[in-house]
Homo-oligomer: A and B are copies of this chain.
């Protein structure tokens, strides 16, 4: 039934039935968790060969002793393997440790307080509060970095084709203290949005609108994480930038955290040679070099672009049924009710759902009290504040298919219950 079509009497009946159903869930002692944006054990096992893959053979192209210090920018084989993932040249990539988040933190930190070497002075030196544009909903750990470093966040709308570029361009033109924008261009966290070619082109042009110290933080975390072979690709930002002469305005990030082992993977960062030079100089103050032995493990396991694609198909085979169960439940119970809208991503790790305005916190609380843990409402917005209190992130990768199905039954009940109760309160 469409919520707005229901009479007050129908709403009261509906509320009663939903409450009874809710109480049954509460009584059944569930303990399910849809918060964890991480691979399942089944996915991690796809890479188990990596642990012993070296067989004691550490031979490598450059014939260096991978066991020793050094090699701040990573090993050549790893550059060759991951440069195509970011669509950059092998002299435009740095291979780091196990965390792209650390590379992002350093990239923001260095830009904020250290500057860009020959390319420009630090943001701080300009004397204004630094601001970032944050397409919302987005990834909470991006927002945490900004908050930690005292950077003011300005939310901008994330449309079906990417950030609202009219808004982005207007804001940047009007305020030179805006120094960055967070982007997850393919299968955005949490909406699954893939940026259109037109949006990527406009993002590549931001470098010519903004000052020289502006940077796009292009977190291509799900670059190769499609659920189907037909999922849309994202245009090459670096290629577009080279076309417009803006290649110094972008930092690209990626990692194998959701390719091999989430905790023992390899992170990488693509950027212009001028940026790489300045960034490496700062990075060299914080470490002597990454774990090159682990980089070699990744090369031996994934081999090349083809090996990577084949490996990611195995992940898709594990993930796709989980996404399908979430979507089937949403479709079966919420379609046509006017109570929610949601995304049907073709890759990534999340499904994003919007309740009616003002209900996300209620739904998350109701679900928690019935034994289903959801990501806190607001987490997908800067400062944890969803102005409309409606966005909920669903992460189906870790629970089993059966668990997801049970959790979703509870979830849709909670959405409906909160919606009907709100409607009744307004009547």
Contacts and interface: CB of A to CB of B under 8 A. Distances in A.
A97 interface: yes
A127 to B, nearest CB: 16
A389 to B, nearest CB: 25
Contacts of A352: none
A263 B285 CA distance: 16
B44 A48 contact: no
A228 interface: no
Contact of A263 (B54, B69, B102, B106): B69
A69 B109 CA distance: 23
B51 A56 contact: yes
Contacts of A98: 97, 287, 290-291
Contacts of A44: 65, 67-68
A264 B48 contact: no
A114 to B, nearest CB: 7
A286 interface: yes
Given A97-B291, A263-B292, A114 B56 contact: no
A174 interface: no
A293 B262 contact: no
A212 interface: no
A306 interface: no
Given A48-B56, A69-B257, A263 B286 contact: no
Interface string A55-90: 110100000011111110000000000000000000
Nearest to A40: B68
Which of A97, A144, A287, A289: most chain B Cβ within 10 A? A287
A365 B193 CA distance: 60
Which of A66, A67, A141, A145: most chain B Cβ within 10 A? A67
Interface string A262-306: 111000000000000000001001111111111000000000000
10 contacts: A47-B67, A48-B56, A52-B55, A66-B264, A70-B263, A99-B286, A102-B286, A262-B288, A263-B292, A263-B293
Interface of A: 38-39, 41, 44, 47-48, 51-52, 54-56, 58, 65-71, 97-99, 101-102, 105-106, 109, 113-114, 141, 144-145, 148, 257, 261-264, 282, 285-294
Top 6 closest pairs, chain A to chain B, by CB: A67-B261, A264-B293, A105-B286, A44-B67, A148-B285, A99-B287
